[in-house]
């Protein structure tokens, strides 16, 4: 048997056996954590919990789809988000990543993932008093700014509520600039 045909058949069998784990997710986004604070621009953040912008409430959502490649071990996840960013302007991200199991018990699981992420937001350069920290690309005349990360990552804890539904809590470790927390549900239609 040719190696390419063998690999295709093997991947097809894995895909069929892991279909029941494939899931759709909907999460509330969330809480932004600036580990070093945002002293220069905290005044632009109306939903900050402190004067230096260490913690800021963002209001929005994340839609995701996760396709398992190897049952209980390896998956590919796509996620798309829209939210009010730290300055209460429209922002969001698009993410595609590979994820692997860290641990799993009957009710609890933890997965870690990494992959490219495109973050976008309405242009902060137009905000009066904004100090440009040169994290996002875009000129003052552009309606949007963006930031591309090859290594956007996530840790996701899941608690099984029913056979078809999990509660999920996600942590994005973007140290030192920004970390975020979101929570929601994952639905497994194949079960």
Given a cut of 50, is residue 14 above it in pLDDT?
A: no
Provide the 3-class DSSP secondary structure of residue 87.
coil
SS (H, E, C) 130-165: CCCCCCCECCCCCCEEEEEEEEEEEEEEEEECCCCE
CA 137 to chain centre: 20
Would you state the pLDDT for residue 94? 98
Query: Which residues span the domain enclosing 51?
Result: 3-187
Q: From its phi and psi, is residue 72 left (phi > 0), alpha (psi between -120 and 50) or beta?
A: left
The predicted-structure confidence for 75-118, as pLDDT tens digits, reads as follows 999 999 999 999 999 999 999 999 999 999 999 999 999 999 99
In total, how many domains does the chain have? 1
Cα 166 to Cα 184: distance, rounded to the nearest angstrom: 8
Q: Residues 23-35: what's their mean pLDDT? A: 97
Given a cut of 60, is residue 1 above it in pLDDT?
A: no
CATH classification at residue 151: 2.40.160.20
Q: What percent of the chain has pLDDT over 70?
A: 90
pTM over 0.85: yes
SS (H, E, C) 106-137: CCEEEEEEEEEEEEEEECHHHCCCCCCCCCCE
Residue 3: which pLDDT band, with cuts at 50, 70 and 90? low
Would you state the pLDDT for residue 13? 46
Given a cut of 60, is residue 49 above it in pLDDT?
A: yes
**Euclidean distance between the first and the last CA atom of the chain, given in angstroms as a whole number:** 34
90 compared with 12, residue with greater pLDDT: 90
**Rg, the chain, Cα only:** 19
Question: How many CA atoms lie less than 13 Å away from 113 in the CB half-sphere?
Answer: 26
Cα 189 to Cα 191: distance, rounded to the nearest angstrom: 6
CB 55 within 8 A of CB 32: yes
The predicted-structure confidence for 63-76, as pLDDT tens digits, reads as follows 999 999 999 899 99
Would you state the pLDDT for residue 10? 46
């Amino acid at each position: 048997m040719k190696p390419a045909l063998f690999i295709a058949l093997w991947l097809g069998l894995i895909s069929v056996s892991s279909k029941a784990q494939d899931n759709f997710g909907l999460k509330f986004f969330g809480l932004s954590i600036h580990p070093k604070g945002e002293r220069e621009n905290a005044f632009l953040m109306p939903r900050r919990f402190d004067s230096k912008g260490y913690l800021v409430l963002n209001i929005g959502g994340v839609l995701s789809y996760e396709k398992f490649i190897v049952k209980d071990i390896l998956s590919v996840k796509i996620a798309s988000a829209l939210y009010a960013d730290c300055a209460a302007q429209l922002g969001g991200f698009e993410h595609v990543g590979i994820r692997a199991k860290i641990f799993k018990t009957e009710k609890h699981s933890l997965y870690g993932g990494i992959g490219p992420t495109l973050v976008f937001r309405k242009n902060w350069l137009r905000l009066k008093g904004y100090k440009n920290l040169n994290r996002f690309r875009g000129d003052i005349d552009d309606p949007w700014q963006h930031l591309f990360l090859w290594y956007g990552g996530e840790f996701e804890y899941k608690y099984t509520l029913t056979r078809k539904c999990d509660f999920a809590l996600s942590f994005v470790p973007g140290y030192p600039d920004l970390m975020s927390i979101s929570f929601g549900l994952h639905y497994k239609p194949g079960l």
